[in-house]
Amino acid sequence: MTLQAPIVERQSHETPDTARASTRLPMVLHTRVITGAGGGPDKTILNSPRFLGDLGYRSACVFLRPPGDEAFQVIRDRAAAAQADIEEIDDHGALDWRIVPRLLSTCRRLNVDIWHAHDYKTNALGIVLRRFHPMRLVTTSHGWVEYTPRTRLYYLCDRWSLPRYERVICVSPDIREQCCRYGVSDERAQLIENAIDTDQFRRKRSVDEAKSLLDWPPGRMLLGGAGRLSEEKGFDDLIRSVRELVDRGIDVGLIIIGEGQQRSVLAGLIHQLNLADRVRLAGFQSDLRPFYEAMDLFVLSSRREGLPNVVLEAMALEMPVVSTRVAGVPRLITDGENGLLVDLGDRPALSSAVARALGDADLRRALAKAGRSTIEQRYSFAERMKKVAAVYDELLGNTADGTPPR
């Protein structure tokens, strides 16, 4: 039996003033489970409210996070900088049923019109809560890329949830194909790729200026990588490539930004390859921009991805990029025009592409300029949010001026 409730007129739980405002501007509730400082999807969520306001929607962000998670302060700080309203709900794990009444209370208090989920758990919760609070169901499928003992559970949950959603926004074509295999119809699965706020990500320093701030050795080329320190990111391949390049006589080093379960493994590999003076594990950084600006080349070595925000950010900051041909990246990068692409798992090709770019300053400048142009023309966050708002409009039957019909 399908657990979807019909959309009906409901009583407002707000004050008269806010109730009148909500009839003018429907409420979107972005929901996500998070541990620590989050990742790329959380940047998208927190950036959304300030764009949706001009498109006819109020919005808030609800994060289900472990109680007492000190790293969540990063999300609070980002929300304040993005002028995004957030709500926090203690989540003690998969069997914590208490989050259901808390979320229901939030939906009623905010008079939510659209539940926008962003992961497997909030997908399932939206279906349950809609029985008690009528609202439209939208989710963004960012993709499950880290293989863990729980991954099978995530996939099973999404197989059940996604076909029950009215719209499934997919950030890359391969994720859309996967959603359709799960039973989502063509008309409900919509491709809306990740994007970047090009005003936020605009270069302010030269490479040399930025390197000096990081105390990087003068004259040494700098590669950069960023993301969760997990197997699918392929940082081990990138570290081995640095060893190969140094052995070829190229004076190069690497900074990897991020935290994760593989930190000790990667640290051991750096020691094993005698690269301690050339490779830094910089850990989590709340602001990646000073690091991007110091890099001569950004390298994505991932084996599994959706459409990674880190590549969009690097290109927006006029950083030449070398990437594996993973998921949505070949739609973003045309080999030799706005970046360099190599096949998955081909480390020699990765090393050769990096060596080619490091040895040709004109090529790096051309790739950097074309990369910035690509982001401005095709991956602007403002344009992305217009597409998302159009999904909301369709579900609510909004009029041309963005207001719901009376």
Residue 117 pLDDT exceeds 50: yes
7 part of a folded domain: no
Distance CA 72, CA 79 (A): 11
Task: Quick: pLDDT tens for 163-221.
Answer: 999 999 999 888 999 999 999 999 999 999 999 899 889 999 999 999 999 999 989 99
User: Is there a single domain that holds both residue 32 and residue 69?
Assistant: yes
Edge-to-edge, what's the strand order for the sheet holding 167-170?
86-90, 58-65, 27-33, 114-117, 136-141, 167-170, 189-191
User: Is there a single domain that holds both residue 168 and residue 265?
Assistant: no
404 part of a folded domain: no
Which residue range(s) make up the domain with 228? 207-378
Please give the model's pTM, rounded to 2 decimal places.
0.80
Residue 1 pLDDT exceeds 80: no
User: Is there a single domain that holds both residue 150 and residue 211?
Assistant: no
Task: Quick: pLDDT tens for 312-365.
Answer: 999 999 999 999 998 789 999 999 999 999 999 899 999 999 999 999 999 999
307 part of a folded domain: yes
Contact 17, 105 (CB under 8 A): no
User: Is there a single domain that holds both residue 90 and residue 230?
Assistant: no
Range in 63-67, 379-383, 401-405 with the lowest mean pLDDT: 401-405
DSSP secondary structure string, 282-349? EE--S--HHHHHH-SEEEE--SS-SS-HHHHHHHHTT--EEEE--TTHHHH--BTTTBEEE-TT-HHH
